[in-house]
Structure 1
Amino acid sequence: MARLDYFAPGVYVEEVDRGSRPIEGVQTNIAAFVGFTEAIRNGAEIGKPMLVTSWNQYSEYFAKENSDGFTDFDAYLPFAVNGWFLNGGARCWVVSIGTQLPKLAAETTQPGPETTSLTVKTSGKRQSLQFTLKPEQAQIGPVKVEISPSEPKTTTPVDPNAPAPVPAEFFSVSIKREDEELERFDNLTMSRDVQTEVGNYVLTALEKSQFVDVLDLTEKGLPLARRPINGQFEVSYPPVLPTQENLSRYVQGERDERSGIQGLFEIDEVTIIACPDLMRAYQAGVLNQDQVHGIMELMVSLCENSAPNPPNRMVVLDTPPDRVKPQQVINWLHNDFQRRSMFAALYYPWIKVPNPRKGGKPILVPPCGHMMGVWSRTDEQRGVYKAPANETPRGVIGLAYDCNFREQELLNPQGINCIRTFPGRGIKIWGARTLVEPEKTEWRYISVRRLMSYIEKSIEQGTQWVVFEPNDQDLWARVRRTVGNFLERLWREGALYGATPEQAYYVKCDETLNTPDTMILGRLYIEVGVCPVRPAEFVVFRISQWSGKDEE
């Protein structure tokens, strides 16, 4: 840095930062899902967002041991998350609102101590040991039971007629909480008649445990065959489940508690949001139409109101399951939901996917998760400026309704994006519009809305260094250069329209914007204009006969 004074004669070397700082684009394909799951374990909590980077990791948090991750009551969230990853989604946040369809409070049996049991199986997939968290440990938190190989205390029993111990049948049990070992029991075996100088019967040894109770579920067989497999297993009290009366509150959540839908908006990186199990709750009669609309309205409003930061999130909505035909969907949107926003997208119809819980037989599910996966794939392969349409959704084997060209003529102007089947081409996403009011044509397309959010958020994060810099013409030039370089890069990638950079964008930061009065207030104003590319939604060929001669 430059010094302001010099005293002794000599040569001084000073580092001076005069270059502009490049703006790095933010990530646009981070999703968030809210819905029901099969389980909540391994550190996941009900109502709290959990980061998931793969389907296997989803199963670790929200599926039972050795499960496929889906549910017996056909919750839609697992299908949505699976569709997200299947279609190219990277990481996402998942909020579980329960492990069953809520019942009335009077009919809901909340989990008690007897439901905290964890069963560890043998290598042959048979039940071995059951661990239960002691009641006094419930408020402290879950523990992890780690089973690892051990060895006998001795290989030469005192009784010469006793059989020699088999080292492979011995194991250790370690009780941990947050990677801190609380207890450890070694030289354990499943043999009830083991000699004390050789080893310890597991139930006898763990009677001293202050954290878990243990039950031997085996009846007969050699100790080695009844031995539990090695691994780490969580023992915890199940979460308190929502009831019909308070499900809506669970889904909405609280920002201060970082829970539910509102908690997702405290995670800066989330850019796409969906709640597929709104429709599952509606189907089951847990939520009525007005409650569903209220939650949908909340998601849309939170996407719109992100002040003081630029809005950079969109919500993908689903049509109600009982509105199957195009006319019914239009009537629902016009007369029931009655909500328009450039930060929302709506897809129709529902899609048909294989259901692992029914032997692969098809099930109709909301399309939001698969559509969001296509958004992510398009962002990675082409860029956020490319409309996520004319793409094949992976994992889809059919549609709830085959919409034709004339029916889409009714839906498309209303911002309802159709998923259609084309002979010889398969299933295609055939729409790329937002739910904005039809007259606001500048925000008609999903790609334009997301590109503008991408530009705004990238500039906001990439110019934090400007804060508290001296507000003079040198700073103005550096800001123009920084933002201009970022926009020029976008123009060269094809995100902005124009034959030259001057036609594609402009950056203004001068004395006409920054007057002495504004500078006294500590403000720096920068004006940016961009011309985003728009999708060629209607391709028109004008064909006429030509005689082959010039017209006179």
Structure 2
Amino acid sequence: MGQMKTPGVYIVEKNAFPNSVVEVATAVPAFIGYTEKALNGTKSLTNQPMRISSMSEFHNYFGFAPTPMFGLAEASAPADNTFSVAGKEYQLSHDSGKNLLYYAMMLFYQNGGGPCYIVSVGNYADDVEGAKLMAGIEQLVKEQEPTMLVIPEAVLLSEDDCIAVQQAALAHCGGKMRNRVAILDVWQGYKARQHPEGDCIENFRGKLGINYLDFATAYYPWLNTSIVQERDLSYQNLTPAALLQQLVKQERNLPDELPKLADNASAADKSAQLKLQQQLDAIADISADWSQLEQAERMAKQMLLHKSLKAISPLYSQLISQMRAMLNLLPPAAAMAGIYTMVDNTKGVWKAPANVSLSAVVSPAVNITHDEQEDLNVSTQGKSINAIRTFIGEGTLVWGARTLDGNSLDWRYISVRRTMIMLEESIRLGTKAYVFENNTASTWVTIKSMIRNFLTGIWKRGGLAGATPEDAFSVSVGLGETMTSEDILEGILRVTVLVALIRPAEFIEITFQQQMQKS
């Protein structure tokens, strides 16, 4: 208190309790990619991390989904996404509107997502470039809250560029920030490992390197989702319109022009002629220009034409389903960010985010057997890849909880790494209040009790292993214990915290043994 210079009564309040350590948020992913727009009112949000908490906020600041355009062309031989009409092969190709961030955000929120950061590095008119995505990573250096990093559109790059972006993400998480983890997608992870073009897992492991693997995790395979619905697609997503008209005519065996009926034609002939004319009119409307109409009228006509084409042409319905399947094939990292958030909020960051079902997911793109997962889980390179598998009666489950550093006993499990990040960040922020305090015994006792109270609470909630708090953790601080006289003169206060972290029971062994007959 200040000096007492005049007679009177002076009241002095003293704190009865020390400062407390507050547990930091553990599930705040940061997504980097391309969006329709990036505006907060009139202020540009390009390359500016923006915190949102729902898809409605994403729509407000970053817009909606890209408009996918698919091309039709003749194919020389049957292949992926080909179909046959009148004995000829045709190819359906995804030509533009390939951006994945919007669909990734939908998948994130479908699986329990919450608050997150968005870094928009461009709009849908821009080409996806590795340099822009890496520049987006750099923008997150100033943000302390994000705990996960997801870059869905890295898989749209060439393999080498995708790996370069992922290596930059690893360096950011493990080398610079050390308070977040990267969730990586396997390039072309929708292909089986026996694919003629090569093993995507071996390529991923061989090119990624060995730096900061304990700050990252990866999942295989990609997912067949239900994010995009058939109502989101129509003939307007197909080009060229003339070829689509030709294919529908060939399928229906329709002439270019109907022959004229005789004057004495029967009522049945006239009815058949009318139906054929209606079909030809519908096909002709595929290339109609309705831009001069009011928006409501134009949308009504387009919807009516879409329904008419679905009614008269099985080929058209097949093309819509095929386009939907191609758009719904998504990398799993965004879904896993949602799973991490859901598990953290319901059970705690120390619970392994595995044996959990995925929402808005129809199936994995590749079915993995027990034997095939063996190499994914345990590898001589140590780069463990978590499997996503489907089980009868249970749906699609996450069936792995390892970091890429699979050979490390310390950091093998992603729940251990993320729990340690939470403890480190919480204690670091809690002890900031004692920077520039006197390096004396009273400060040491206060800091020790503050950290012990925090760790006791974590232990009671099941975050630390041990029958008693003494078995779960220990906190040491003081002269002759963690510091020397020289440390005190240098202004250094050292605290040593030992914690016993929970590890998942990844393998359960059940032993059966016969006993002697008793009667």
Give the letter for the 2:171 counterpart.
S
Contact 2:162 2:187 in 1 (8 A): no
Shift of 1:58: 0.9
Pick one of 332, 338, 342 that aligns with 1:373: 338
Give the letter for the 1:375 counterpart.
Y
Instruction: Indicate whether 1:306 and 2:144 are aligned.
Output: no
DSSP 3-state at the match of 2:386: strand
Tell me the TM-score normalised to structure 2 length: 0.70
Give the letter for the 1:98 counterpart.
G
**Partner of residue 383, structure 1:** 348
DSSP 3-state at the match of 1:463: helix
Shift of the 350–482 alpha-carbon distance from structure 1 to 2, 3 Å rule, reads: same
Inter-partner Cα distance in structure 1 for 2:168 and 2:388: 26
DSSP 3-state at the match of 1:421: strand
Contact 1:19 1:478 in 2 (8 A): no
Shift of 1:264: 1.8
Inter-partner Cα distance in structure 2 for 1:267 and 1:427: 34
Give the letter for the 2:175 counterpart.
N
Inter-partner Cα distance in structure 2 for 1:483 and 1:322: 43
Contact 2:190 2:222 in 1 (8 A): no
Shift of 1:49: 2.1
DSSP 3-state at the match of 1:485: helix
Contact 2:189 2:220 in 1 (8 A): no
Instruction: Indicate whether 1:95 and 2:60 are aligned.
Output: no
Cα offsets for 1:222-245 (capped at 9, x unmatched): xxxxxxxxxxxxxxxxxxx4x57x
Give the letter for the 1:465 counterpart.
A
Inter-partner Cα distance in structure 1 for 2:210 and 2:162: 13
Moved more, 370-379 or 339-348: 339-348
Shift of the 322–474 alpha-carbon distance from structure 1 to 2, 3 Å rule, reads: closer
**Partner of residue 27, structure 2:** 29
**Partner of residue 415, structure 2:** 447
Shift of the 62–11 alpha-carbon distance from structure 1 to 2, 3 Å rule, reads: closer
Aligned residue pair count: 386
Inter-partner Cα distance in structure 2 for 1:319 and 1:376: 21
Pick one of 296, 303, 312 that aligns with 2:166: 296
Identical positions, percent: 33
Contact 1:297 1:339 in 2 (8 A): no
Please, what is the CA RMSD of the aligned residues? 2.2
Contact 2:187 2:204 in 1 (8 A): no
**Partner of residue 159, structure 1:** none
Inter-partner Cα distance in structure 2 for 1:16 and 1:22: 16
Shift of 1:19: 2.3
Instruction: Indicate whether 1:58 and 2:58 are aligned.
Output: yes
**Partner of residue 505, structure 1:** 473
Shift of 1:18: 4.8
Inter-partner Cα distance in structure 1 for 2:352 and 2:466: 18
- For structure 1, the 5+ residue unaligned runs are 102-240, 254-259, 283-287
Give the letter for the 1:275 counterpart.
I
Instruction: Indicate whether 1:77 and 2:101 are aligned.
Output: yes
- For structure 2, the 5+ residue unaligned runs are 69-96, 234-319
DSSP 3-state at the match of 1:502: helix
**Partner of residue 143, structure 2:** 267
Cα offsets for 1:60-91 (capped at 9, x unmatched): 22225xxxx34421321111111111111111
Instruction: Indicate whether 1:47 and 2:15 are aligned.
Output: no
Instruction: Indicate whether 1:543 and 2:512 are aligned.
Output: yes
DSSP 3-state at the match of 2:454: helix
Inter-partner Cα distance in structure 2 for 1:483 and 1:549: 57
**Partner of residue 476, structure 1:** 444
Inter-partner Cα distance in structure 2 for 1:322 and 1:524: 48
DSSP 3-state at the match of 2:344: helix
- Matches of residues 149-188 of structure 1 in structure 2 within 5 Å? none
Cα offsets for 1:302-335 (capped at 9, x unmatched): 101236xxx2101110011167224613311332
Inter-partner Cα distance in structure 1 for 2:15 and 2:517: 66
Contact 1:350 1:367 in 2 (8 A): yes
Bigger RCO of structures 1 and 2 (CA < 8 A, at least 6 apart): 2
Query: More helix by proportion, 1 or 2?
Result: 2
Shift of the 543–299 alpha-carbon distance from structure 1 to 2, 3 Å rule, reads: same
Moved more, 330-339 or 525-534: 330-339
- Matches of residues 249-288 of structure 1 in structure 2 within 5 Å? 249-253=131-135, 260-280=136-156, 282=157, 288=158
